[in-house]
Structure 1
Amino acid sequence: MKLQVLLPAALLCGLMACQNNDTPAPAPDVVAANMDTTVKPGDDFFLYANGGWIKQHPIPDEETRWDIGQLVNEEIYKRVLSINEKAVADSNTGGVSKKLADFWLSAIDTVSIEQAGIQPLQSDLDKVNAITDVPSLLQLIAGWQVKGISPAFSQFIYQDSKNSEQMALYLYQGGLGLPNRDYYFNTDSTTTSKRNAYVKHVARMMELLGDDTTTAANNARTIMKLETRLAKVSRKLEALRDPYANYNKFAVTDIKRLAPSVDWKTWATNIGAGSVDSVIIGQPEFFRELETALTTVPIKDWKVYLRWNLINGSADYLSKPFVDQDFEFYAKTMRGAKKQRPRWKRVLDSEKGAMGELVGQLFVKEYFNETAKKRYSDMVEAIRSALKDRINKLEWMGDSTREKALHKLATMKKKVGYPDKWKDFSAMKIGRGPYVLNMQQANAWWHQYTVNKLGKPVDRTEWDMPPQEYNAYYNPSNNEIVLPAGIFTVPGYRDEQLDDAVVYGYAAASTIGHEITHGFDDEGRQFDANGNLVSWWTKEDEAKFNKRAQVMVNQFNGYVVVDTLRINGKATLGENIADLGGILLGWDAFRKTEQYKKGEKLAGYTPAQRYFLGYSLGWLGHARKELLANQLMTDVHSPAQYRVNGPMADVDAFYETFDIKPGDKLYRPDSLRVKIW
């Protein structure tokens, strides 16, 4: 999901409200300005649509990619910065302004942060030193999980996948410093070099904590050994997408079958969830191995591991040596950044995580009008209607499944722009003290916020993203699509300047249609209209769906992106299905518009051509090689170029619109094109 657009140099004066007596030059066409017409659309449609812009816009040193999302975020950053500056000016009035001002001033007070060094975390380090046995070890882990630091394993509270009316406590694999288990075992040169760099990074961070060089190196090896042990029993990225395999419900008293040395009732009490009587465990085999590690790994090694987890989870909020070393590995080595992003942007990112919806209340008052909200709300209904037509015409689906699919589609809820009811952040404790402690307090507030949901009716009005977020999502447990205001931000162009062809391409297709299709992808389709994980397909229809989906798995497995690294077709299947579905649904809806029916060219391109160019605009940009390598191993989304070229190669209307023929690189015989929805 994304929206767009570029900031042509000719527009800068208009955006900065310059005053002169000359009539301003018209804005360049939103899609034509980005194209590279030396590329054949049938060979690489992504570069045909976006290559001109890419050539003219190298990736800034402080970024790991430069794309439409970054351009949108540039505008959002400036808007949110203005909100914070106004909050500082109004902080004496208390309330929302004071909370924002305290957080902002705490985070940008680099003088105090440098003077404090590691001191704000000294009480946490003292608690590590006081550990003597497994019970005291687990007590500390529970206390840290409340504050947003999760050694050993992960826990969270969310709707019960099989009973969406109830909230449940989940236990999941975790505890790794590298992005996922494959980084510990893959033997290709790229991954091996990053794994070796990780051990050096951990050693350097341990030195910053006060270890001498030899001790730090030994401690880094200890940490790597323990993490590798946990990684060995961690599931792969694609395996984590199986909702049934990752749903294993245990009575709290029965978790001892997996890890008898842990008093799970006491652990639950220590995180504030002592009233729960059951827990959903994602990966039981992980907790069996955790039990073995707790009882065989020396306590002194666990204490070393905990010190690392504390500093690794806190580095961004500490003094410059910690921030710089954290950047050196996680941003530079892992993702290819050449220099750090400005501090004010990093602080705004942290603020969004801590209290994004609080900022969002002020954001939408100034930057999201009702006209835009109605345009995109109506567009959801156009896409819903398009999918209804497609489901009714599916030859491979039986009547029983079809009836339930139509009911799920009809009852799918939409949330556009911002929540009708805002969260109350008044109890979040934020002060002018250490930045890192404000982050701990914010995490503790969020933890308590979710704990308070246990035993209460599910609030289906809630949003999981703030309205200024440049993103969108489908929530299977609520059977809803959520479209924050930020996703419709278009820098350089007012909404009314954009023709329907472009908007249906990059908004209706790449966002709205994409999210609606998620309700019917390989994972989302397994949840019913009420949001419950339950089998509602006939076995015959399920087999037909899986056979068609496998065609897409095979297609994306064939794409080599970086060196020898390929897209993982199974891990990215849901997103790839949603991309294809979005294009098809957006196209169906667009063909009902007046612009399509009139067929008049704009900037030299037909409405049909502008629709596909508009979709491609949603993925405008390029990324560093290091980031792409990381994405291929950790992300369920394909790289942007393949989110255009991949699904386009399966769309018959694309072939007709751009006269794609055998011999063109994107051409796929009809028998190999993916046909699901």
Structure 2
Amino acid sequence: MYRTLISAACCALLALSSPSLRAETAAPVSGIDLKTLDPAVSPKVDFYGYVNGVWARNTEIPADKSTWGTYVELREIAQGQLRALFDDTVKHPGKSGSDTRKIADLYTSYMNEKARNAAGFKPLKAELASVAALKDKQDLPALFAALQRSGIQTPFSAGVAPDAQDPERYTINVSQSGLGLPDRDYYLKDDDAKLKAVRDKYLKHVEAMLAMSGDKQAAAHAAQVLDIETRLAAVQWTRVQMRDPVKSYNRVDLDKFAALAPAFDWNAYFAAAGYAAKESSAVVRQPSFLTGFSETVAAVPLDAWKSYLNWRIVESYASYLDSAAVKERFAFEGTTLRGVPQSEPLWQLALKFTDGALGDAVGKKYVAMYLPPETRPRVMAMFDNFVASFRDGIEHLDWMSAETKKEAQLKLAALKPKIAYPDKWRDYSAMKTQPKDLVANVRAARAWSRQNNFDKLGKPVDRDEWSMTPQTVNASYSPALNSITIPAAILQPPFFNVKAEDAVNYGLLGITFGHEISHAFDDSGSQYDAKGRLRNWWTPADRTAFKARAAGLVKQYGAYSPVPGYHINGELTLGENIGDNSGLSLTYKAYQRSLGGKPSPVIDGLTGEQRLYIGFAQKWRAKLRPEAAIAQIKSDPHSPGEFRAKGTVMNQPGFYEAFDIKPGDPMYLPPEQRVLMW
């Protein structure tokens, strides 16, 4: 079954790249899911409702999901493939120390509820004892470093990444952290009844979990936790502020951190974390937060910090403890925050944990089982078509000078595609696993990840490294590496339809190419040059013109309200909205290029252009629970699917032509209000 799905995707890829093959096969079909089209809704009135109305009326969100739609459907397919892979691995785990044995150990230890229930909270004894042993706030830095090595959240995070000012070397990044709720607004918006209700339930949740760990004063200690997190939230940067890569780049010598945040012993922290032995400076993402954090360290007594750190430990491991802890955590994280009434099945949770810990080991097997070797070169051919179309688009921009166009072309030419799977797999030989001890395996996986990140310091940047695994249903762009990643898992239905001609496949999968390429030129990505260096390569006039167009998208999406009383944050979602709008424009151009000057075929009464836009809207069909929608609006840079579909097409000239949209139609935007970035 699963091999058939992948083979179907590959056949579709072949159809995309080979006009002669299309001519030799049977008459193509549209690939549109005609059953979801609502004949009672005109595309001129509500394009999303026209495309997905029947689906929306007849679809219920599964009890164990916060959302349901095309993306989630594909993730379920990929997880079904992984389950078959894991079942086979558990039956044939191989020799001790092998990647297959590690996969089997992590998966079976997660599934072993009997052992987890017998252990209860005992596996956390060492970490909780380290907090109890604190004698003075001067001991906090060393403990923070130790907890971070175990993947436990502290008020700030520190990690290694390419240096935005020198992308050939790695640097340390220090960033704000430390909250248990999705966004600072949950702590600070007292005038929002829904957010305040969540905060009140969070306090009870912290109390319940601390009590389970043996805390006899759980209620008082939970109040201390909420107080510290509220203080941290008050000094955190907003998500919009964090999107500015220039303001977020502040290099500070390690011995100057004391001036920025004097109440915390940074020398002790950097020494304990091992950074002082390798680097003399670090990049601070939010300097004012560190100052506010320092004030919190000074103002809050040690006893409260102990409560906070105990909570961070308990919360970090709650998913891996006994059934009571897992149930309590899901009641808050799943039901309260996202409105999900029922947890996912145990096998799915075990799969996600194992996949997250041993992503490349799993990915290597996934590719071998489900991806024919000819897939990647065929996708590369499709990618080249998109690059060629973008190159032409840059040259025809009427608002950009020749000087800036030259720089944009250099960046596009240097853009590196990472398709299907990496050429080099991560080495997990240093990770030691056990067949029955889940928490020990969690620690081993986290320690390996932390060490793998730390070991990059002092080495040249690996520009071929992947940030995703092949089995991930997603895609990404890295401004520091100037590369896009298109994993193998999305190269299959429903993003590809083996029976469909090109148009719908461009609208479903092709938009992913267009979207990720466009991220190199969105409001944030456009501030990095061809080598991934944070550098202004724009003329002042061109940058001003770009910002004016971007402001139009901010205004457009800010008017959308997925949940009554909650509007999309147009500034937070700007980068993704540029990716969608520029990406769809690019997809249309790439499809026209594929036609070779011929008119698109009419199938099922729909032109190719109509099928492309319908496919795009089908890709973003989704239903969200209200709680999940609010959390997304507050914390996610992506707009909800309905508005990604509807808002994007309203800016596309091709859409107006394809569906004969005229002034007075609800889907009509006057030309002066349409935003065309690239």
2:53 equivalent to 1:51:
yes
2:160 equivalent to 1:151:
no
Partner of 1:20: none
Deviation of 1:27 after TM superposition, in Å, equals 10
Which whole-Å CA distance do the structure 2 matches of 1:241 and 1:620 have between them? 27
Partner of 1:160: 163
Partner of 1:14: none
Which whole-Å CA distance do the structure 1 matches of 2:499 and 2:596 have between them? 14
TM-score, normalised relative to structure 2: 0.93
Deviation larger for 179-188 or 443-452? 179-188
Which whole-Å CA distance do the structure 2 matches of 1:200 and 1:596 have between them? 64
Contact 1:31 1:613 in 2 (8 A): no
Contact 1:120 1:434 in 2 (8 A): no
Partner of 1:396: 399
Partner of 1:251: 253
Contact 1:479 1:529 in 2 (8 A): yes
**Match of residue 72, structure 1, among 70, 74, 79:** 74
Unaligned ranges ≥5, structure 1: 7-25
Contact 1:246 1:283 in 2 (8 A): yes
- Map 1:633-648 → 2, pairs under 5 A: 633-648=634-649
Contact 1:259 1:288 in 2 (8 A): yes
Deviations 1:463-502 (A, max 9, x none): 01000000000000011111111122215x9754232101
Deviation larger for 219-228 or 46-55? 46-55
Which whole-Å CA distance do the structure 2 matches of 1:640 and 1:606 have between them? 24
Deviation of 1:92 after TM superposition, in Å, equals 4.0
Partner of 2:11: none
Contact 1:233 1:286 in 2 (8 A): yes
Equivalent position SS for 2:238 = coil
User: Aligned letter for 2:296?
Assistant: A
TM-score, normalised relative to structure 1: 0.93
Partner of 1:376: 379
User: Aligned letter for 1:524?
Assistant: G
Unaligned ranges ≥5, structure 2: 9-27
Which whole-Å CA distance do the structure 2 matches of 1:99 and 1:341 have between them? 23
Which whole-Å CA distance do the structure 2 matches of 1:255 and 1:284 have between them? 10
How many percent identity over aligned positions? 36
Deviation of 1:385 after TM superposition, in Å, equals 1.0
Partner of 1:569: 570
Contact 1:632 1:638 in 2 (8 A): yes
2:418 equivalent to 1:419:
no
Partner of 2:19: none
**Structure 1 pair 548–428 and aligned structure 2 pair: CA distance change class (3 A):** same
Equivalent position SS for 1:622 = strand
Which whole-Å CA distance do the structure 2 matches of 1:455 and 1:447 have between them? 16
Deviations 1:189-211 (A, max 9, x none): 22121111111111111221223
Contact 2:31 2:501 in 1 (8 A): no
Partner of 1:237: 239
Which whole-Å CA distance do the structure 1 matches of 2:496 and 2:639 have between them? 30
**Structure 1 pair 610–119 and aligned structure 2 pair: CA distance change class (3 A):** same
Deviation of 1:675 after TM superposition, in Å, equals 2.1
2:121 equivalent to 1:118:
yes
Deviation of 1:565 after TM superposition, in Å, equals 0.3
Deviation larger for 226-235 or 497-506? 497-506
Equivalent position SS for 1:514 = helix
Which whole-Å CA distance do the structure 1 matches of 2:647 and 2:413 have between them? 29
**Match of residue 198, structure 1, among 189, 199, 202:** 202
Which whole-Å CA distance do the structure 1 matches of 2:200 and 2:667 have between them? 38
Deviation of 1:150 after TM superposition, in Å, equals 1.7
Partner of 1:272: 274
Equivalent position SS for 1:250 = strand
Which whole-Å CA distance do the structure 2 matches of 1:504 and 1:364 have between them? 23
Deviation of 1:258 after TM superposition, in Å, equals 1.3
Partner of 1:140: 143
Partner of 1:284: 287
Which whole-Å CA distance do the structure 2 matches of 1:569 and 1:649 have between them? 16
Contact 1:595 1:607 in 2 (8 A): no
Which whole-Å CA distance do the structure 2 matches of 1:347 and 1:513 have between them? 34
Which whole-Å CA distance do the structure 2 matches of 1:320 and 1:635 have between them? 30
Deviation of 1:329 after TM superposition, in Å, equals 0.9
**Match of residue 344, structure 1, among 339, 343, 347:** 347
Q: How many residues get paired?
A: 651
User: Aligned letter for 1:515?
Assistant: E
Please give the root-mean-square deviation of Cα atoms over the aligned residues, in Å. Answer: 1.9
Which whole-Å CA distance do the structure 2 matches of 1:399 and 1:595 have between them? 28
Partner of 1:521: 522
2:211 equivalent to 1:207:
yes
Contact 1:500 1:595 in 2 (8 A): no
Contact 2:31 2:499 in 1 (8 A): no
Which whole-Å CA distance do the structure 1 matches of 2:454 and 2:669 have between them? 51
Deviation of 1:587 after TM superposition, in Å, equals 0.2
Deviation larger for 66-75 or 359-368? 66-75
Deviation larger for 115-124 or 609-618? 609-618
Partner of 2:265: 263
Equivalent position SS for 2:593 = coil
Deviation of 1:270 after TM superposition, in Å, equals 2.0
Deviations 1:244-267 (A, max 9, x none): 111110111111111234332332
Contact 2:508 2:615 in 1 (8 A): yes
2:192 equivalent to 1:188:
yes
Which whole-Å CA distance do the structure 2 matches of 1:494 and 1:590 have between them? 15
Which whole-Å CA distance do the structure 1 matches of 2:665 and 2:110 have between them? 53
User: Aligned letter for 2:548?
Assistant: K
- Map 1:495-514 → 2, pairs under 5 A: 496-509=498-511, 511-514=512-515
**Structure 1 pair 494–664 and aligned structure 2 pair: CA distance change class (3 A):** closer
**Structure 1 pair 539–594 and aligned structure 2 pair: CA distance change class (3 A):** closer
Deviations 1:510-547 (A, max 9, x none): x1000000000000000000000011111111111101
Deviation of 1:595 after TM superposition, in Å, equals 9.0
Equivalent position SS for 2:64 = coil
**Match of residue 485, structure 1, among 485, 488, 491:** 488
2:269 equivalent to 1:298:
no
**Match of residue 62, structure 1, among 61, 64, 71:** 64
Deviation of 1:151 after TM superposition, in Å, equals 1.4
Partner of 1:227: 229
User: Aligned letter for 1:75?
Assistant: I
Contact 2:61 2:67 in 1 (8 A): yes
Contact 2:30 2:611 in 1 (8 A): no
Partner of 1:316: 319
Deviation of 1:345 after TM superposition, in Å, equals 0.6
User: Aligned letter for 1:531?
Assistant: G
Deviation of 1:29 after TM superposition, in Å, equals 4.4
**Match of residue 106, structure 2, among 64, 78, 103:** 103
Deviations 1:363-399 (A, max 9, x none): 0111112343233211111111111111101111111
Deviations 1:158-195 (A, max 9, x none): 11111101111111111111112111112222212111
2:472 equivalent to 1:474:
no
Which whole-Å CA distance do the structure 2 matches of 1:180 and 1:388 have between them? 39
User: Aligned letter for 2:91?
Assistant: A
Which whole-Å CA distance do the structure 1 matches of 2:432 and 2:161 have between them? 24
Partner of 1:453: 456
2:594 equivalent to 1:593:
yes
**Structure 1 pair 311–66 and aligned structure 2 pair: CA distance change class (3 A):** same
Equivalent position SS for 2:562 = strand
Deviation of 1:28 after TM superposition, in Å, equals 9.8
Equivalent position SS for 1:93 = coil
Which whole-Å CA distance do the structure 2 matches of 1:175 and 1:481 have between them? 30
Which whole-Å CA distance do the structure 2 matches of 1:171 and 1:600 have between them? 54
Deviations 1:67-97 (A, max 9, x none): 1122112221121112112222222434121
Which whole-Å CA distance do the structure 1 matches of 2:78 and 2:32 have between them? 19
